Homo-oligomer: A and B are copies of this chain.
Amino acid sequence: MSLERPIRIGVAKCGNIGTSVLLDILLDERAERGDIIIRSVGSGPKLTPEEVREVVGKLLDFKPDLVLLASPNAALPGPTAGRELLAEAGVPTIVITDGPGRKAVKDIEAKGMGYIIVPADSMIGARREFLDATEMAIYNADLVRVLACTGVYHALVEAIDKAIGGLKAGREPELPRLVLGRDEAVGAARFSNPYARAKAMAAYEMASKVADLTVEGCFKLKEWERYTQVVAAAHELMREAARLADEAREIEKYGDTVFRAPHNRKGILLSKTKLVEKPKKPEG
């Protein structure tokens, strides 16, 4: 028996990752959906256990039907504490995290939660000699572009929509257990041109590689001249990944084959490929 009322989606953002930056907007990109209500609560850049607990607590006040808990490295104490609170509350939860978050999968699964892990969502070059608000924003712009153009966001929306669909149908929602690696992402992007797909795959790999450099620059190197140089290299690498991912999309524009999947008011994902064409409902 399907629910009459809109599904309440609660988004907890604890610390910043590229996947969470637009998380509360991705599900209803034109603010038109009548089938969901979105609320988000966040702790800004920090994610201590106290802060995550406070954030999750407030989010529970909204009585969410589904919670998206987004953070870097879901295995850290903060996100872990958040999951405990959510498990106690018994709210269906999808953990959204980056590559290091893989370490939390066992715990997540044990709690009956879903997860979406994005290895390309590499850590920023968080060194004071390098990272100010402007550089941070530019890095996020590059990262968002990579995630968008390589298909990560679309895959994520599909997975969450599926869970929402279960809730709307009055069923126990099917929670994703999804590592959005190169092939999963690019598959979701539905490229028509195989070179666009190849470039997107390369871009995804580049974005994933960034984490090796930022981890080196932030945690391994001690000499400031060296780590500054390495985190700068990491951001240049993400910038190129963004450029290449963008080119992949341009190729599809050149062929007028850009895949678009807008939601309609009822929350159904329509799709189209020609620019001047009405989006259509999925068949079947």
Assembly CA distance A147 to B136 (angstroms): 12
List chain B residues, Cβ under 8 A from A276: 129, 194, 225, 228-229
Jot down 28 A-B pairs with beta carbons below 8 A, ordered by A. A15-B31, A16-B25, A22-B137, A24-B45, A26-B136, A27-B133, A28-B45, A29-B133, A30-B126, A37-B44, A38-B46, A40-B44, A58-B58, A128-B262, A128-B279, A129-B262, A129-B272, A129-B277, A131-B262, A134-B151, A137-B148, A137-B153, A201-B229, A201-B233, A202-B236, A206-B209, A225-B276, A251-B254
A92 CB-CB contact with B under 8 Å = no
Decide if A137 touches B147 in the complex (CB within 8 Å): yes
A261 at the binding interface (Cβ < 8 Å): yes
A171: interface (CB < 8 Å): no
Q: Report yes or no: A137 in contact with B197, Cβ–Cβ below 8 A.
A: no
Are A141 and B145 closer than 8 Å at their CB atoms?
yes
Residues of B contacting A272 with CB < 8 Å? 129
- Minimum Cβ distance to chain B for residue A260 (Å): 5
A144 to chain B: closest residue by CB: B141
Chain A positions 22-71 with a Cβ under 8 Å from a chain B Cβ: 22, 24-32, 37-47, 54-55, 58, 61-62
**For this complex, into which size category does the number of interface residues on chain A fall?**
35 or more
Identical chains in the assembly: 6
Instruction: Knowing A39-B44, A45-B24, say if A141 contacts B131 (CB, 8 Å).
Output: no
Decide yes or no whether A159 CB sits under 8 A from chain B: no
* Nearest chain B CB to A119 CB, angstrom units: 13
Which of A46, A234, A262 has the largest number of chain B CB atoms within 10 A?
A: A262
B147 lies within 8 A of A133 (CB): no
Residues of B within 8 A of A244 (CB): 236, 240
Most-contacted residue by chain B among A38, A134, A277 (CB, 10 A): A134
Q: Which of B21, B195, B230 contacts A21 (CB 8 A)?
A: B21
